[in-house]
Amino acid sequence: MKKKGQVWVETVTYTLIAFILIGLVLAFVKPKIDELQDKATIDQSLNVLQQIDSIVNEVYQSGVGNKRVLDLTLSQGTLTINSSSDSIDFLFKGTYMYSELGKVYMDGNFKIITTQSGSEYTVYIERDYPNFNLTYNGKKTSGVITGSSSSYNLIVSNNGGASQNIDFSLE
């Protein structure tokens, strides 16, 4: 009878030790996994911005009246077509420090700035278009596209004019 009780005590003890070890591993590994997911999201978003930039240049070079549709997938963050400053901006908050804090980092034509607020980092990516007049839905307003599990159809049009109007809209 005593040996049966000892087997159960050992089983419960080993099970508790296994749960504690699993908990410790998760406590150290999960933050790293979250950082890697945030880095992948930022890299994916930078790739999307580069695709938009390529389409803007292609539409401009193809002439007035030209139009392209981009299947836009943005899982997290906020993409802004900023008509007042003629720029496209991306803002992401997460646990990954993408670049040196407070310093401007250039990746091609894209300006990247990382700031910190508590344990969270904010990554801001901007592409200025000083030679174009960007509009959203034909108006000098800003368009905001938020992260979603579904994709968007972003239409980029060359409306021409003296100010080289490039218009963005969602289908």
**Full-model pTM:** 0.82
pLDDT at 104: 93
Confidence at residue 86, expressed as pLDDT on a 0 to 100 scale = 92
Note down pLDDT in tens along the chain; length 171 residues: 556 677 888 888 999 999 999 998 888 888 899 999 999 999 999 999 999 999 999 999 988 889 999 998 888 999 999 999 999 999 999 999 999 999 999 998 999 999 999 989 999 999 999 999 999 998 998 999 998 888 899 999 998 887 889 999 998
Q: DSSP per residue over 121-145, as a string?
A: EEEEEEEE-TTSEEEETTBSS-EEE
pLDDT of 53: 94
CA 164 to chain centre: 28
C-alpha atoms less than 13 angstroms from C-alpha of 138 in its C-beta half-sphere:
0
Nearest CA among 71, 90, 37 for reference residue 150:
71
